Copies of this chain bind each other. A is one copy, B any other.
Amino acid sequence: MKTASVLTISDSAFQGSREDLSGPAVAQRLKAAGFKVVHSSILPDELDQIQARIIECAEITRMIVTTGGTGVAARDVTPEATKGVIERQIEGIPERMRSEGSKKTPLAALSRGICGIRGKSLILNLPGNPAGATESLDSVSSLLAHVLDLLDGKTGH
């Protein structure tokens, strides 16, 4: 069973002024998809802290899913933080999330989340609201499992 971390990235959830509904919703979805969620935490929208936590999580878990900080507001820096700690980017995964999301709302185009690989771990940025986060995850979850198999050397040929 593959391990996963869930990072909620939100100033207001970190300060406790807003309840974190997205983190638990994403964790539940990951469990349903067969992952063992061994780490969950809430971080403020601070690039350095996001990067440090992703690096730690990539050492202990195969899948790191973030929720929040992917928008266009001034404090939204999750994609920039993620870009700085991945070794290789998979453009087609966020492309798919936006294209599927656009069937529900044109605002899906504004989600700037990325997906990439660090070592043998896969990092995925999801939007911050619970519905957007879980729907985005659902639209690519079979791809994620496949990537992790490929990173394990299972070529599928």
| Chain A positions near chain B (C-beta within 8 angstroms) | 71-74, 76-77, 79-80, 88-96, 98-99, 102, 106-112, 117, 120, 129, 140, 142-143, 146-147, 150-151, 153, 155, 157
Contact = CB atoms under 8 A, between A and B. Distances in A.
A109 B88 contact: no
A22 to B, nearest CB: 13
- Copies of this chain, whole number: 3
Given A72-B117, A73-B150, A150-B71, A112 B98 contact: no
A111 B92 contact: yes
B95 A112 contact: no
21 contacts: A72-B90, A72-B151, A73-B150, A74-B120, A76-B88, A77-B88, A89-B112, A90-B110, A91-B94, A91-B112, A92-B108, A92-B109, A93-B109, A96-B102, A96-B109, A106-B142, A106-B143, A107-B146, A109-B143, A110-B143, A110-B147
